[in-house]
Amino acid sequence: MIDAAKRASARTINIIMPYYGYARQERKAAPREPISAKMLADVLTTVGATRVITIDLHAPAIQGFFNIPVDHLTALDLISDYLKEKNIKNPVVVSPDAGRASTAEKLANYLDSPFAIMIKKRPSHNESVITHVIGDVAGQTPIIIEDLIDTGSTIINVVEGLKERGAEDAYVCATHPLFSANALQRLDHPNIREVVVTDSITLPPNRPERFQVLSVAPMLAEATKIICQGGSISTLFKNAGV
């Protein structure tokens, strides 16, 4: 589609990619691994894209893989507004790992709540074991925040780890619902009150009732309008530094 637009003499080609594929392969974690996030950026740029609009990259540094403008939007405001309407009693925002700590801190500030960090180790791919919790979660209602959920195994480990430490049933929030394998069934867990995600990826219609889907369409529409008419993307967010 990019090539067709380029050959039709398009002045600019803006790519709206709510979920940036291969984003988790943004560095070499072992010898002879590819950096696929960089490769995809090179492909999009080489074929003719002039701008990319995406939401909640797995690693914000991926923006630097492009030599064209990248508008990195976030669904954090959307999720925080939804959670505020829930009037959750004794909330504590939980980061499943150290990498999500800054996002958890922002959400905690929006909700005026404390936050905690889970420390985990990965014995193998798509598997994790919770080893420590930094912060008080006993008697609190956890709000777990992630950029994406794949198999759901890490989330379940976090939920069960919090429950063992005296926490109430949790809310699970993520921007990108990959939901591979049997993730939908796994996340239909008795200790999860709700799973809050966006429609950055299409979800099957037969999902369990505890799944709540927030639409990113208005945000993408407003971002596109700003890009076409001129203005600052940062005006879309509560925190102008996003």
Going along the chain from its start, the domains and CATH numbers come out as 2-74+218-236 (3.40.50.2020), 76-214 (3.40.50.2020)
Tens of pLDDT along 127-148? Answer: 566 667 889 999 999 999 999 9
Active site residue 163: no
- Which class for 144: exposed (0-12), middle (13-18), buried (19 or more C-beta within 10 A)? buried
Q: Please identify which of the residues 6, 38, 86, 120 carries the catalytic annotation.
A: 120
Is 70 exceeded by the pLDDT of residue 165?
A: yes
Q: Coil, strand or helix: which one is 121?
A: strand
Whole-structure pTM value: 0.90
Do 19 and 37 contact (CB within 8 A), yes or no? no
Locate the DSSP E strands across the chain.
Answer: 14-17, 51-55, 70-73, 91-95, 115-121, 129-134, 141-149, 170-177, 192-198, 211-214
Is 70 exceeded by the pLDDT of residue 124?
A: no
Q: How far is Cα 180 from Cα 78, in angstroms, rounded to an integer?
A: 24
Is 50 exceeded by the pLDDT of residue 117?
A: yes
Do 59 and 26 contact (CB within 8 A), yes or no? yes
**In this prediction, what percent of the chain has a pLDDT beyond 70?**
94
Give which of 50, 79, 49 is closest to 200, Cα–Cα.
Answer: 79
Q: Which amino acid is at 120?
A: K
Q: How far is Cα 116 from Cα 130, in angstroms, rounded to an integer?
A: 13
